[in-house]
Copies of this chain bind each other. A is one copy, B any other.
């Protein structure tokens, strides 16, 4: 079929993982919904979150600490709510059961299957957004979310985002083993 071009500004990843980024601002925990997030370094493990002009930026800039919490589908309404209302106007500190690890300014969400506290490693200013690169200090989960001591995505039950149609999606079926199912193409002619 013929290729068509689409608006470059309306192009995203399909799909994007949804996380709740936590920070402390004026002494209170605040959370925002973020889909522009990625692991970016092997050793040390580093994660990037890309933020526009948000209340959260103030907390990260001041404290050099933040959190990444992975919500499950039962938290979808609360996650979406965090993306709808700004911490400038609405106090979101009571929305979840908050706990802290060793980083006192990286608020973690007890209800989330995976909670990562990070110290700020670097800040990259982009034309509109700021890329905050963080180094995990502690990662919390619960035994029930793991299989063979690894996080099990079907137990974690996270959800993803698509833009610009703006929908959330569950994780579907297991399609096979990575770094493995391509092996039968080795030594083939193309």
**A26 on the B face (CB < 8 A):** no
B181 touching A80, Cβ below 8 Å: yes
B175 touching A172, Cβ below 8 Å: no
What B residues does A142 contact at CB under 8 A?
1-4
What B residues does A38 contact at CB under 8 A?
13, 16, 36-38, 48, 50
Residue of B with least CB distance to A170: B172
**A176 on the B face (CB < 8 A):** yes
Write the residues of chain A forming the contact surface with B, with a CB cutoff of 8 angstroms.
1-17, 19, 35-48, 50, 52, 70, 73, 76-85, 94-95, 99, 110, 114-116, 122, 124, 126-129, 131, 133, 136-144, 146-153, 156, 158-186, 190
